[in-house]
Amino acid sequence: MKVALATCARIPRLTEDDRLLQEELRRAGTEAVAAVWDDRAVEWPEFDRVVVRSCWDYHVRLAEFLAWVESLERQRVALWNPGPLLRSNAHKSYLRELAAEGFPLVPTVWLPQGARRRLADVLDEKGWAEVVVKPAVSASAFRTWRVARAEAEGAEAERAFENLIAAGDVLVQRFVPEIVTPGEWSFVFLGEAFSHAVLKRPAAGDFRVQEEYGGHIADAAPAPALVAQAERIAAWIPRPWLYARIDVVEIAGILNVMEVELIEPALFLGSDPSAPVRFAEAVRRATR
């Protein structure tokens, strides 16, 4: 079996975490190679599986990325996660579908591209003191910022908001202090089954939990009741799928969904010694 682990040009050798998967696949007798998704020299049909991993520029080149996905489908390449999931997950409108099914979300206002709204008015209408603003197509906190009501009508904040909404659809979410304490949970599912979870906390004075902004993983394990809630969220994902990362914040014992990541999430394989084995087994079991 020959497997491509798709990455981007900025990380041609994969992330340290994804190399754990690569090593485990090789240990199991599978040829596993890193391949940059937009490298025209790659012959994708040569692979038995193409697993999307650290394609961390997809959100700034979405049309190109989705055209690549479509080209693999036309060539009948076994792509994981499958193309329909990648397309549906690229825009955060999928969160509205989750909400329609009754899953709690962090309170959100959805604004279409070009909407003529003032950020301060959005906060006043909802009675929110502080919000997080983000594009509907985003990854790794790209163009995501936190603003308080007192700052929202300032020229700088309003200009940033106008620029963001001119570029695409926008989400304005009530800032929830639980993102800082206790933190944001990431529940990782491999082969449609729960694998492990990590609790992420931001650096002091920040709200972004990503490592590049100083975020870190706390020493904690989720209660069984939280795992059961995450499993119900995962059951919403249309099958088949290979991996998912469900990012949530616990508020009064209830998981409120932040993201359901199906394209290129970091899976924190290094946090559980058995996780790379489980992921490699899931990759090998996946069919065309």
User: Rounded to whole angstroms, how far apart are CA atoms 189 and 47?
Assistant: 24
Is 80 exceeded by the pLDDT of residue 125? Answer: yes
Which domains does the chain show, CATH number per domain?
A: 2-89 (3.40.50.20), 94-104+178-262 (3.30.470.20), 108-175 (3.30.1490.20)
Task: Specify the pLDDT at position 140.
Answer: 62
Read off the pLDDT of residues 249-272 as tens digits, 9 standing for 90 and up. Answer: 999 999 999 999 999 999 999 999
**Banded pLDDT at 220 (limits 50, 70, 90):** confident
**Banded pLDDT at 150 (limits 50, 70, 90):** confident
Q: Report CA-CA distances (Å) from 199 to 121, 123, 132, 260, 284.
A: 34, 29, 20, 16, 29
HSE value, Cβ hemisphere, 13 Å, CA-based, for 22: 19
Rounded to two decimals, the pTM is 0.93
Task: Specify the pLDDT at position 49.
Answer: 97
Tell me what percent of the residues of the chain surpass a pLDDT of 70: 94
The whole-angstrom distance between residue 125's C-alpha and the CA centroid of its chain comes to 29
**Banded pLDDT at 146 (limits 50, 70, 90):** confident
Mean pLDDT in residue range 222-236? 97
Read off the pLDDT of residues 158-203 as tens digits, 9 standing for 90 and up. Answer: 888 998 899 889 999 999 989 888 889 999 999 999 999 999 987 7
Is 80 exceeded by the pLDDT of residue 87? Answer: yes
Task: Specify the pLDDT at position 215.
Answer: 67
3-class secondary structure, 32: strand
Is 80 exceeded by the pLDDT of residue 139? Answer: no
Read off the pLDDT of residues 11-50 as tens digits, 9 standing for 90 and up. Answer: 999 999 999 999 999 999 999 999 999 999 999 999 999 9
Task: Specify the pLDDT at position 208.
Answer: 64
Q: What residue type is assigned to position 231 of the chain?
A: E
Mean pLDDT in residue range 57-70? 94
Is 90 exceeded by the pLDDT of residue 153? Answer: no
Higher pLDDT, 213 or 182: 182
**Banded pLDDT at 218 (limits 50, 70, 90):** confident
Residue 268: count of CB within 10 angstroms of its CB: 18
Element (H, E) at 68: helix 62-74
Residue 273: count of CB within 10 angstroms of its CB: 10
The answer, yes or no, to whether the previous bond of 82 is cis (omega within 30 of 0) is no
Mean pLDDT in residue range 98-103? 95
Is 70 exceeded by the pLDDT of residue 288? Answer: no
How does the average pLDDT of the chain come out, rounded?
Answer: 92
User: Rounded to whole angstroms, how far apart are CA atoms 70 and 19?
Assistant: 26
Task: Specify the pLDDT at position 145.
Answer: 84
Is 70 exceeded by the pLDDT of residue 209? Answer: no
**Cα end-to-end distance, the chain, whole Å:** 12
Residue 12: count of CB within 10 angstroms of its CB: 12
